[in-house]
């Protein structure tokens, strides 16, 4: 019944339609005249949608349709994009052009593609400015299982803010972390179109997509549906830094966690959904090191959190069931926490000492940007890692560990010692879009 298509040879990507009923949003896409790809997003216990929110909801849903399309578009990256409902207004088209170009930059680099000039959403439509909806003064806080969102949660809790811990998809790790926060929880399910797996088997392009953008759009829909006036992510300062430059293009693994996207989406929501729906990152002014320092005080989370990108779906009780110990995330979190925790405590979290393992030298070198570029992961800046390592190299309980000793003898002499202090990293920068209501929480982190 289905026509076999060669994803890489497709010519047109179509945004077919989107709909919502009874807590389920359906997002439909297609390549050329091929079969429809239907993604479902399920919102649990959906309240009846209030009439005065309807327009805002539709706008948010449409944006979700457009943003979530990136997962499918990338299977074929055909030269033309078509939106069934007609051309987009310029601001929307611009947001999407930027997101698809920068959000897929790593994907393009890995696959040896150049997407510049290829991505053009249809423009020329019009839009009307929107007003305030008087949304309830409470916040959706996405939980990722890692330390950052937990720091954000605790910051909001500390100012008595009302918040809900929210996450998309099945993850025992995130569920465990969310439960530990003591906040009400909201678990939204996202089911990719099953046909996408088929396309993959047929040789679709594959690679990294800007998943934070997709989750942000899902949460915008959820904010209108359930009634929240703010979405507070936990993206830090270094998320804005490029991983590498490739043929003149900046490639940032975590572009959709960066400030540029935060501004684009935040402004778009104010003008297209509701002027009182705020989208921000609570950790934006802070470096990874400042955040790990804040996290080091949150002992109750030590035995549930994990930032490991092996993304264990099935959890066991041992540290090795949450930390693979080999990926850049494990390396970075270990290194960044080390200056702020008693050594035996840190080692009990990871179940092993990554800095005393020669086999991990390459991984840590990459973090330090020594003989390698920064890894494609959501990790801190190289200078940050160097500052943390330098701090450890001055500490007697660390300095004999294999990789710290190696840093002292081999790497440190090549570095400019004036650039290695830890303290400057612990200061907040000015860049942030946190709404007034949540500003006091911001101050509790630094």
Partner 1 sequence: MKFGGTSVATLPRWQNIRELVASRRAEGARVLVVVSALTGITDALKQLCAQGEKSKRNEAAKAIAKRHYELLDHMQLAMPETLGTRLTELVNLADDGSAKLGELAWQAQVQAHGELMSSALGAAFLSHTELPTQWLDARDCLAAIALPNQNERTRLLSSMVDSRPDPVLAARLATLGEVFITQGFIARESHAEKGTSGRTVLLGRGGSDTSASYFGALLKAQRVEIWTDVAGMFTANPRQVPGARLLQRLDYEEAQEIASTGAKVLHPRCLSPLRESRVPLLIKDTNRPELDGTVIGPEVRAHAPSVKAISARKGITLVSMESVGMWQQVGFLADVFAHFKQHGLSVDLIGSAETNVTVSLDPTENLLDSDAIAALATDLAKVCRVKVIAPCAAITLVGRGMRSLLHTLSGVLAEFGQLRVHMISQSSNNLNLTFVVDEEVVDALLPHLHDLLIAAGALRTDDSALFGPSWQTLYGSGETSGTATAWWRESQRTRLLELAAEATPRYVYHLPTVRQQARELKSLTVVDRLHYAVKANTHPEILRMLVAEGFAFECVSPGELRAVSEIVPEATPLLFTPNFAPREDYVFALGTHATVTLDSLYPIEHWGELFRGREIVLRVDLGRGLGHHEKVRTGGSGSKFGLPLDQLANFLQLAETHNVTIRGLHAHLGSGVLDASHWGEVYAQLASLAERIGSVAFLNIGGGLGVPSHPGEARLDIAELDRVLREVKAAYPQYQLWMEPGRYLVADAGVLLTRVTQQKGKAQLRYLGVDTGMNSLIRPALYDAWHEIVNLTRLDEPATALYQVVGPICESGDVLGTDRRLPEALEGDVMLIAQAGAYGKVMSSPYNLRDEADEIVIE
- The contacts of residue 338 (CB under 8 Å, 6+ apart) are 346, 355, 388, 392, 398
Q: Is 310 in the site for partner 1 (CB under 8 A)?
A: yes
The b/e string for 258-272 (b: 16+ C-beta within 10 A; e otherwise) is bbebbebbbebbbbb
d(CA 56, CA 133): 9
Q: Is 326 in the site for partner 1 (CB under 8 A)?
A: yes
Q: Is 412 in the site for partner 1 (CB under 8 A)?
A: no
Q: Is 300 in the site for partner 1 (CB under 8 A)?
A: no
Residues 170, 312 contacting (CB under 8 angstroms): no
Q: Is 93 in the site for partner 1 (CB under 8 A)?
A: no
Q: Which value, in Å, is the radius of gyration of the alpha carbons in the chain? A: 22
d(CA 369, CA 165): 35
Q: Is 209 in the site for partner 1 (CB under 8 A)?
A: no
HSE-up of residue 62 (Cα within 13 Å, Cβ side): 19
The b/e string for 332-348 (b: 16+ C-beta within 10 A; e otherwise) is bbbbbbbbbbeeeebbe
Residue 317: exposed, middle, or buried by beta-carbon count in 10 A (0-12, 13-18, 19+)? exposed
Q: Is 324 in the site for partner 1 (CB under 8 A)?
A: yes
Options 116, 297, 373, 395; binder of partner 1; rule CB under 8 A: 395
Residue count, binding to partner 1 (CB under 8 A): 37
The owner of tokens 């990507």 is 13
Q: Of 222 and 296, which CB lies nearer to partner 1 in the complex structure? A: 296
**Nearest distance, CB of residue 299 and partner 1, angstroms:** 7
**Nearest distance, CB of residue 91 and partner 1, angstroms:** 34
Q: Is 197 in the site for partner 1 (CB under 8 A)?
A: yes
Q: Of 114 and 427, which CB lies nearer to partner 1 in the complex structure? A: 114
Q: Is 325 in the site for partner 1 (CB under 8 A)?
A: yes
**Nearest distance, CB of residue 302 and partner 1, angstroms:** 10
Options 80, 116, 313, 439; binder of partner 1; rule CB under 8 A: 313
Residues 262, 102 contacting (CB under 8 angstroms): no
Segment near partner 1 (CB under 8 A); pick from 114-122, 153-161, 244-252, 321-329: 321-329
Task: Calculate helix-pair angle for 54-68, 211-226, nearest 10 degrees.
Answer: 160
Q: Which tokens in the block code for residue 384?
A: 């940050």
The owner of tokens 């009439």 is 51
Q: Which tokens in the block code for residue 434?
A: 């946190």
d(CA 165, CA 98): 29
**Nearest distance, CB of residue 267 and partner 1, angstroms:** 34
395: number of Cβ within 10 Å: 12
Options 203, 300, 424, 446; binder of partner 1; rule CB under 8 A: 203
Q: Is 353 in the site for partner 1 (CB under 8 A)?
A: yes
Options 85, 311, 371, 419; binder of partner 1; rule CB under 8 A: 311
Q: Of 56 and 347, which CB lies nearer to partner 1 in the complex structure? A: 347
Q: Of 345 and 373, which CB lies nearer to partner 1 in the complex structure? A: 345
Options 48, 314, 430, 436; binder of partner 1; rule CB under 8 A: 314
What phi, psi does 44 have (nearest 5°)? -75, 150
Q: Of 5 and 274, which CB lies nearer to partner 1 in the complex structure? A: 5
Q: Is 24 in the site for partner 1 (CB under 8 A)?
A: no
**Nearest distance, CB of residue 199 and partner 1, angstroms:** 8
d(CA 446, CA 427): 7
Options 299, 409, 419, 429; binder of partner 1; rule CB under 8 A: 299
HSE-up of residue 75 (Cα within 13 Å, Cβ side): 28
Binding site for partner 1 (CB under 8 A): 170, 197, 200-201, 203-204, 206, 299, 310-314, 316, 318-320, 324-326, 342-345, 347-348, 351-353, 356, 359, 395-398, 400-401
């Amino acid at each position: 019944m289905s026509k076999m298509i060669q994803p890489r040879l497709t010519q047109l990507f179509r945004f077919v339609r989107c709909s919502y009923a009874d807590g389920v949003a359906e997002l439909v896409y297609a390549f050329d005249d091929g079969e429809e790809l239907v993604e479902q997003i399920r919102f649990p216990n959906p309240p009846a949608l209030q009439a005065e929110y309807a327009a805002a909801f539709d706008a948010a849903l449409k944006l979700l349709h457009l943003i979530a399309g990136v997962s499918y578009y990338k299977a074929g990256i055909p030269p033309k994009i078509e939106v069934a409902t007609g051309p987009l207004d310029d601001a929307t088209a611009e947001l999407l052009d930027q997101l698809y170009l920068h959000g897929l930059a790593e994907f393009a680099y890995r696959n040896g593609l150049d997407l510049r000039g290829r991505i053009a959403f249809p423009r020329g439509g019009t839009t009307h400015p929107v007003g305030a909806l008087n949304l309830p003064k409470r916040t959706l806080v996405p939980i990722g299982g890692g330390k950052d969102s937990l720091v954000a949660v605790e910051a909001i809790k500390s100012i008595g803010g009302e918040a809900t811990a929210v996450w998309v998809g099945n993850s025992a790790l995130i569920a465990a972390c969310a439960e530990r926060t003591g906040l009400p929880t909201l678990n939204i399910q996202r089911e990719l179109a099953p046909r996408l797996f088929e396309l993959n088997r047929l040789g679709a392009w594959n690679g990294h997509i800007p998943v934070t953008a997709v989750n942000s759009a899902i949460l915008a829909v959820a904010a209108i549906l359930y009634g929240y006036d703010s979405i507070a992510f936990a993206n830090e300062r270094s998320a804005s830094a490029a991983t590498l430059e490739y043929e003149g293009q900046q490639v940032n693994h975590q572009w959709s966690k960066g400030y540029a996207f935060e501004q684009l989406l935040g402004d778009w929501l104010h003008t297209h959904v509701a002027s009182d729906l705020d989208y921000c990152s609570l950790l934006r002014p802070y470096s990874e090191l400042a955040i790990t320092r804040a996290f080091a005080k949150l002992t109750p989370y030590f035995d549930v959190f994990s930032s490991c990108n092996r993304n264990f779906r099935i959890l066991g009780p041992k540290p090795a069931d949450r930390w693979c110990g080999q990926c850049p995330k494990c390396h970075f979190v270990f290194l960044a926490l080390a200056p702020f925790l008693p050594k035996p405590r840190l080692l009990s979290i990871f179940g092993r000492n990554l800095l005393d393992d020669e086999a991990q030298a390459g991984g840590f070198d990459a973090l330090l940007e020594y003989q390698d570029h920064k890894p494609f992961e959501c990790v801190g800046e190289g200078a940050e890692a160097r500052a943390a390592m330098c701090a450890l190299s001055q500490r007697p309980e660390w300095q004999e560990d294999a990789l710290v000793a190696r840093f002292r003898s081999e790497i440190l002499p090549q570095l400019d010692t004036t650039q290695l202090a830890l303290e400057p990293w612990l200061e907040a920068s000015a860049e942030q879009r946190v709404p007034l209501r949540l500003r006091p929480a911001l101050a509790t982190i630094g």
